[in-house]
Structure 1
């Protein structure tokens, strides 16, 4: 009987994780749809999700796992009730603040995740932020520098965990990684779009620093056609 209970609990835990992932993906798809409808001009190349705000979705995933764990596990439910009783003794009115605080925090996180994007158009970059939701337009001519390469470190017997980056410095000093693609208006891979933009920026005289270190390791995780597009950007000087 104990073995059956253990197996049952394990299955419930795995199913809750899978459900949390599915719901998180559904949330991200809805968020992307709304971003495209509200923040994107009709003619745009693609948009990027700015770090560290792009990782806020993990909070919702953990929140979902905790929520489902509460209803699926008697042990977790008992632990939560124990903590609640302790809080009620120390803070009699804490429940009033709990629900309101949770709603406020979630709304704030959704807003930060939603608004912190930058949109690439044919003419320049529209940079949105929490305090500037309408966005500021930066013409490509105004960019001051490009820094591109491949982050990461190759460890023996492990697949390469690095990634390509393409950072541009705006006139106000803000740095954007144009390789943090969040969504696109076409089915064309953003690396091909970025490769054409890279050539255009060099023609405009934007200074560029590039490193080909770790380039060969990308073949472990990417299709060769994408690696070739990245190599073209890293080796292009004019």
Structure 2
């Protein structure tokens, strides 16, 4: 009975950590929207490098909850880590380094936003938090495909995921499917289709492949996969 109770408590702590992580990630998205997204946006992306924080945050929450509510875990950490001679001797340095790295990671995450409007792209980053503006003419290449491989590595694309990438003249690559939000709560694939039609009509070079398209039908309704199919087949200006 004691082992069953212990397992149930551990599972509950994991669930609480996941819920807290989702709540904090929504808060981060809201802050990003308020800081960086103008009213005339079509779509804005939550850029991949910053997504590392979400997983790191979940690890912290799991660690913290287990440390607070599991005595055996707390004793193990104290015995094997917190009581280490290096930690005791350089405690202030270790704490300062830990806080500094995490504040930097939070800053990178918050500033990792790219906004697409009807006539420009505003790319924010930790190097240029104020944003660098590009016009559609600064797009040198479009790539559209469906990812077919399986990945066990965090922050990479999943099997059957529709990928739509813009490459700018400075080498920057932006995945429009990594969406923070779209205007009027419309589904992101419809907004990407409208943007794609505009860009292709401007004569911007585009590479596209129907390979692995059938994988999108496993998780998406036909109305969305039809839109993806139109995007993949749209390779010449009208």
Same fold by TM-score greater than 0.5:
yes
Per-residue deviation, 1:117: 1.1
Per-residue deviation, 1:199: 0.7
Give yes or no for contact 1:150–1:215 (8 Å, CA) kept in 2: yes
Q: Which runs of 5+ in 1 are unaligned?
A: 155-159
Give yes or no for contact 2:145–2:162 (8 Å, CA) kept in 1: yes
* 18 and 92 in structure 1: CA distance in 2 versus 1, 3 angstrom threshold: closer
In the other structure, the counterpart of 2:200 is 202
Q: 2:184 aligns with which of 174, 183, 186?
A: 186
In the other structure, the counterpart of 2:6 is 9
* 50 and 103 in structure 1: CA distance in 2 versus 1, 3 angstrom threshold: same
Count residues with an aligned counterpart: 229
Per-residue deviation, 1:208: 0.5
In the other structure, the counterpart of 1:119 is 115
Per-residue deviation, 1:153: 3.3
TM-score (norm 2): 0.91
Q: In 2, Cα distance between the equivalents of 1:171 and 1:150?
A: 24
- More displaced, 137-146 or 96-105? 96-105
Give yes or no for contact 1:45–1:193 (8 Å, CA) kept in 2: yes
In the other structure, the counterpart of 2:106 is 110
* 59 and 30 in structure 1: CA distance in 2 versus 1, 3 angstrom threshold: same
* 83 and 27 in structure 1: CA distance in 2 versus 1, 3 angstrom threshold: same
Per-residue deviation, 1:85: 5.7
Describe the SS at the equivalent of 2:130.
strand
Q: In 1, Cα distance between the equivalents of 2:35 and 2:147?
A: 33
Q: In 2, Cα distance between the equivalents of 1:228 and 1:93?
A: 62
In the other structure, the counterpart of 2:233 is 235
Give yes or no for contact 1:153–1:214 (8 Å, CA) kept in 2: no
In the other structure, the counterpart of 2:154 is none
Where do 1:125-140 residues align within 5 Å? Answer: 125-140=121-136
In the other structure, the counterpart of 1:42 is 39
Q: 2:18 aligns with which of 9, 16, 21?
A: 21
TM-score (norm 1): 0.91
Give yes or no for contact 1:149–1:210 (8 Å, CA) kept in 2: yes
Where do 1:96-175 residues align within 5 Å? Answer: 96-153=92-149, 161-175=159-173
Q: Which runs of 5+ in 2 are unaligned?
A: 151-157
Q: In 2, Cα distance between the equivalents of 1:137 and 1:9?
A: 54
Q: What whole-Å deviation, never above 9, does each CA across 1:201-228 have from its counterpart, x for those lacking one?
A: 0111100000011111211111111111
CA RMSD, Structure 1 to Structure 2 (Å): 1.6
Describe the SS at the equivalent of 1:144.
strand
Give yes or no for contact 2:148–2:215 (8 Å, CA) kept in 1: no
